[in-house]
Amino acid sequence: MSLKAGSSLAHYRLIEPIGEGGMGTVWRARDTRLDRDVAIKIVRPDRTGDAGFRARLEREAKALAALSHPNVAAIHGLESFRDGRGRAHALILELVPGESLAERVTRGPLPPGEALEIAARILDGLSAAHDAGIVHRDLKPENVRVTPDGRVKILDFGIARELPGRTGGGSSDEGATVTSALTAAGAVLGTPRYMSPEQTRGAPVGTRSDLWSFGCLLFEMMTGKPAFPAPTVADTIAAILSREPDLAAIEEPAREVVRRCLVKDPASRDIDARQARGLLTPARGEPSGIAAGPRPRLTQETWGDGIDGFPAWSPDGRELVYAAESGRVRRIVRTRVGSGSAVPITEGDADEIMPAWSPDGSTVLFVRARETGRRLEPRDVFGIYEAADVWAADLATGRSIRLVEQAFNPSFSPDGRSIALDASWAGPRRIWLVDARGRNPVQASTDVSEAVSHHRPRFSPDGNRLVFQSLERTRFNVEILDLATRRSQPAAEGLWSDLQPVWSPSGRFVYFSSYRSGGLNIWRVPVSAGGAPAGAPEQITNGAGQDVEIACAPDGRRLAFAILRQNASLWVLPVVPETGRPAGAPRPLTSSGRDDSRGAWSPDGNTIAFNSMRGGDMNVWLCRADGGEIRALTEGPGGDYQPAWSPDAALVAFFSSRRGSPGIWTAEVATGRLACLSEERAIEINPCYSPDGSHIAYQSDRDGRLEVWVMRADGGGARQLTRCGVMGHFLRFAPDGRHVIFRCPSAGATLRVPLEGGEPEPMGKIAGGSHMSLSPDARRIMDVVAHKVLWVSPVDGDAAEPVFEFEDPEVRIDYPTWSPDGRSVLFDRFLPRGGELWILEGVE
């Protein structure tokens, strides 16, 4: 069959060849029927001559199609095509974008955190394949890709085979080998460097052969070198059969995983993919660290690349219900804590979230989308949901009924007689109470401002109060509502984004998620018997995780919560300097899958400083403006955020919790030497240099709430500039160096305050949020609204206009930053694609 670019096979148009293997040629092609790009592996004609081969090929394609795992590249179909010389067969495969591990390893070893995260995802895919009775047989760096949004995919099961008599469950190598349709019996197939000893001999292979290959792959990711280096294929095979790899450079417990995978006798290689995954979990580290003090124990409850969220405890504290991804939508599932398995309690094709267990254990409330197949998403992050109803699932019968229309975030009162929820039944979103059957609604919360909305109510243990989330434009607060007086008060002081509160079972604390330390972590505030705040907020978790959707176990000692992975990466958008409108298509700058975010241009525009978890901790990294020459500037735990360059490019300032409370630090660009400029036990964040480099402006809560402060560049002479409050992560010196520009929530405006002191002055009307960037000529501010749309607002008061958003509705944008020449805008692009449930034990 003569093939060339532009040829058509059925409804597939060939674009270009992208690979060649023993089975055939792989082409990038366009599926003209579904309007998508795919990979087509066209099997060599000499391989499809007999009917037995074709039957086995079809059977194995069906087995791979049934696998359907997020870490395994999908197979879309098996097609046959006829031309003048006969019939050809082709596998239609998912086209996976991104960089292969082979390309990544050529630059040297991966940071340990990144290597172990990728390894865990590979093992997830292998475990699913082995459970389905499928062995890969050619696992190597070239066959693993990391997509631009951080997903890990195993490719090319083209020499995979089914284990005989397997229909799933377990991963044993027992049983006689059958000839694979995609291989020849007894053939030595695979890539020599990653072959198991039994594979090099042409002996029968099974799942343990894949574990050998995985051990070689993990060794190479950790060290940057092959486990069995040799100049020729023959020497490589000899090394595999006779030599032991040097594991000295690999730290425990990853070393133990590699050691157990690289046992030469397959009968003694007593490890499977799931066991290896469990052993690697401690090595990956805790995605969210635990704040200083006695260390509670953090364990992972759910696994996988989907999003698990909204946990709720059973009354006896032994089970959880939560929302788990099931295809395009989520289902409410039930699991016994620590069991590793879950079963759905609902049926249907509509998205389901926000479960709540009744005090008697008989019922689970949940929110179900009105439209099937449509995923429920807030209009803004952690904001308002729409077009859904509250349902109730009877756990004894399995039946579900619609309880309340157009309502969200249900929770039972301690006696089970009332349900609190949020709804927009009489204007803006407010907290309402209904009885246990969803009847007799009564509005519980009020506010004089229609710009304020109320969400996510949770009862106090005595049932006399509610804690809820208040949202005003881009500001999130936690409020405590007295149900007798209908009066509310803040649970915690400060102009922060505090989210998703929940009462502890003892009534002594209110837990919530907050950006107070830079990342979105868990905090708590002590509460008096009368429901008033009784002390300062205390940080419970730290690090770069998005720690959200907290649920307290009935014993008060355990917290279940979700850690969301947003897979942020840095993108660059060419813009017209005079308007900020796009001058070309956006392009990715980084794609590590390790939360590359909050980028800052060097004064000459040639280097980017940014946050990343590439090394396992959130640190400051540097890269060229074209994405090359990436290196770490800081290392270690604590969480380093929001880099800002000094005008001479010798220093990068940032804020970090290395000494407990977030404070201002600097790092020398040439040496990495660190200096802490904050001496107070206060929260101090978001530094920026004056144009002449003599001062640093920053935000501090030294006087009890977040305000603008300034100090000399050496850390001395700190003084307060504002007394009106400040919000968000936007703080910049004006180009004249005589004013500091900031966002004020009380005024609902962007202001500038003189460096020498005085009253702040209002600037032009800004489009929306608090993550803004001033153009180099100080005439425009770029902002992001709803984490989706870039807006440009002229400082002189002219009308703001939207200038850019991605077509994909799931894509989020944040932290736009104008380049020094005004011709580019750097921003975070992320997809909220992953999340697991974790349990923190020992907190009360």
Residues with a catalytic annotation lie at 138
Q: Which two tokens stand for residue 655?
A: 């804020």
CA distances to 412, 440, 445, 485 from 420, in Å? 6, 12, 11, 16
Collapse the DSSP code of 118 into the 3-class scheme (helix H, G, I; strand E, B; otherwise coil) and give the result: helix
Complete DSSP assignment for 234-300:
HHHHHHHHH-----TTS-TTHHHHHHHHT-SSGGG----HHHHHHHHHHHH--SSEE-SSS--EEEE
Q: Output DSSP code: residue 137.
A: S
How many residues are given for the chain?
Answer: 844
Taking the alpha carbons at both ends of the chain, their separation in whole angstroms is: 70
Q: Is 104 helix (H, G, I), strand (E, B) or coil?
A: helix
Around 502, how many Cα atoms within 13 Å sit in the side-chain half-sphere? 26
DSSP string, 30-81: EETTTTEEEEEEEE-GGGS-SHHHHHHHHHHHHHHHHH--TTB--EEEEEEE
| b/e sequence 510-540, b meaning 16+ C-beta within 10 Å | bbbbbbbbbbbbbbbbebeeebebeeebebb
Dihedral over alpha carbons 70, 73, 78, 82 (to 10 degrees): 150
Q: Are 248 and 141 in contact (CB under 8 A)?
A: no
Measured distance CA(322)–CA(309) in Å, rounded? 6
Cα–Cα distance, 6 to 16 (Å, whole number): 8
Task: Pull the structure tokens for residue 452.
Answer: 């304020």
What are the angstrom distances between the C-alpha of 843 and each of 477, 504, 506, 539? 23, 10, 12, 11
Q: How many CB atoms lie within 10 A of CB 796?
A: 9
Per-residue b or e along 298-316, where b marks 16 or more CB atoms closer than 10 Å to that residue's CB: beebbbbbbbbbbbbbbee
Q: Are 284 and 269 in contact (CB under 8 A)?
A: no
SS (HEC) of 332-387:
EEEEECCCCCCEECCCCCCCEEEEEECCCCCEEEEEEECCCCCCCCCCCCCCCCCC
CA within 13 Å, CB half, 719: 9
Rg for the chain, CA atoms, rounded? 29
Residues 6+ apart with CB under 8 A from 655: 518, 640, 641, 642, 662, 663, 664, 665, 684, 685, 686, 687, 698
Contact between residue 693 and residue 648 where contact means Cβ atoms under 8 Å apart: yes
The answer to whether residues 240 and 197 touch, using CB atoms and an 8 Å cutoff, is yes
> What is the rounded CA–CA span in Å between residue 123 and residue 13?
34
* 336 dihedral zone (left: phi>0; alpha: psi -120 to 50; beta): beta
Question: Residue 689 forms beta bridges with which residues?
Answer: 696
Q: Is there a contact between 539 and 547 (Cβ–Cβ < 8 Å)? A: no
410: preceding bond cis by omega (within 30 degrees)? no
Task: For residue 101, report the phi and psi dihedrals to the nearest 5 degrees.
Answer: -60, -30
- Helices and strands of the chain, counted as H and E runs: 8, 61
Which residue is associated with the tokens 């992001």? 784
Instruction: Please name the helix (run of DSSP H) or strand (run of DSSP E) that holds residue 611, with its range, or none.
Output: strand 607-612
